[in-house]
Amino acid sequence: MDGVLVDSEPLHKRAKELAFGELGLVLPESVYDGYKGRPDRTMMPEVLAIHRPDADAERVMQRKKEFYEQIEHQLQPVDGAAEFIRWASGRYRLALATSATPRNRGAALTVLGIENFFESIVDTDRFHRSKPDPEIFQVAMRDLKLPPEKCWVIEDSLAGVGAGKAAGGFTVAITTTFDRRTLADAGADLIVESFAELKTVLESTFAGSLT
């Protein structure tokens, strides 16, 4: 969802910067890039263990949450995302697998107006091991009762591409967060620049079939 359906990564990054800033921490861009697509409960304790082991990770995560909610009104959809979901829902079975909390997931889907288009929704309440572990996608596949080879996984992050591949799905990377070369190096099976391009690929690949 984050980085695929909604352009929330800049807001999450800003909220983390503010929370870490209260501890006097200023982290390089590479740290934030390395944790894109992974939940706060993974990123923040790991970072604090290295840079501020004396800090209360739960408190810092709470502060990040508070900062995010203050700027959440700036949330914007990825271009064409909602339209693509509405189009795809009449042709394919859809699951949403996200590292967002239930609260943030609900808020984002409300912004997009697509709350009711998914047969399965997997958020942080339903998995334990973060990407690149495949668990999040395996849960969604089990919900749909589909084997991995019948599933396309749409991702924007390197951890997400790794998780999709590890789950056995055909993994599509969209260039909303990383460039084509970086996503190709991560192992994506297909790379698209937009949802319009993905729709064209699907129409040509499965012409006449509702798979």
**Measured over all CA atoms, what is the biggest interatomic distance in the chain, rounded to whole angstroms?**
60
Q: Does 86 lie in the same domain as 70?
A: no
**Does residue 18 surpass a pLDDT of 90?**
yes
Q: What is the mean pLDDT of residues 109-125?
A: 94
158 and 186 in contact (C-beta within 8 Å)?
A: yes
Asked if residue 3 belongs to a domain, the reply is: no
Q: pLDDT band for 208, please (50, 70, 90 cuts).
A: low
Asked if residue 198 belongs to a domain, the reply is: yes
Domain ranges, residue 100:
81-205
Assign 187 to helix, strand or coil: coil
* Most confident among 72-76, 175-179, 203-207 (mean pLDDT): 175-179
Cα separation of the two ends of the chain: 22
**What is the residue whose two structure tokens read 């840079």?**
51
Q: Give the per-residue pLDDT at 34.
A: 87
98 and 132 in contact (C-beta within 8 Å)?
A: no
Asked if residue 157 belongs to a domain, the reply is: yes
Q: Does 192 lie in the same domain as 107?
A: yes
List of residues 6+ apart from 200 with CB closer than 8 A: none
Q: Does 148 lie in the same domain as 50?
A: no
Q: Does 85 lie in the same domain as 70?
A: no
Q: Give the per-residue pLDDT at 211.
A: 44
Asked if residue 4 belongs to a domain, the reply is: no
Q: Does 125 lie in the same domain as 27?
A: no
35 and 43 in contact (C-beta within 8 Å)?
A: yes
Given strand 170-174, what is the order of strands in its sheet? 152-155, 170-174, 190-192
Domain end call among 51, 74, 97? 74
Q: What single DSSP character describes residue 78?
A: P
Asked if residue 1 belongs to a domain, the reply is: no
Q: Give the per-residue pLDDT at 209.
A: 59
Q: Does 177 lie in the same domain as 93?
A: yes
Domain end call among 74, 93, 123? 74
> Which regions of 12-99 does DSSP assign to beta strands (E)?
95-97
Asked if residue 29 belongs to a domain, the reply is: yes
Q: Give the per-residue pLDDT at 139.
A: 98
Q: Give the per-residue pLDDT at 207.
A: 73
Q: What is the pLDDT of residues 23-60, one digit of tens each?
A: 999 999 999 988 988 889 999 999 999 999 999 999 99
Q: Give the per-residue pLDDT at 39.
A: 87
Q: Does 50 lie in the same domain as 113?
A: no
Buried b (16+ CB within 10 A) or exposed e, 165-181: bbbbbbbbbbbbbbeee
Q: What is the mean pLDDT of residues 71-84?
A: 94
CATH value at residue 186: 3.40.50.1000
Q: What is the pLDDT of residues 174-201, one digit of tens each?
A: 999 999 999 999 999 999 999 999 999 9
Q: Does 153 lie in the same domain as 55?
A: no
Domain end call among 44, 74, 104? 74
Q: Rounded to an integer, what distance in angstroms lies between the CA atom of residue 123 and that of residue 141? A: 14
How does the average pLDDT of the chain come out, rounded?
Answer: 94
Q: What is the mean pLDDT of residues 56-79?
A: 94
Q: Does 137 lie in the same domain as 58?
A: no
Q: Does 111 lie in the same domain as 200?
A: yes
pLDDT exceeding 90 applies to what percent of the chain?
89
Q: Does 95 lie in the same domain as 28?
A: no
Asked if residue 26 belongs to a domain, the reply is: yes
Q: Give the per-residue pLDDT at 37.
A: 80
**Overall number of domains in the chain:** 2
Asked if residue 186 belongs to a domain, the reply is: yes
Q: Does 170 lie in the same domain as 195?
A: yes
Q: Give the per-residue pLDDT at 105.
A: 94
Q: Rounded to an integer, what distance in angstroms lies between the CA atom of residue 73 and that of residue 70? A: 8
Q: Is the pTM of this model over 0.75?
A: yes
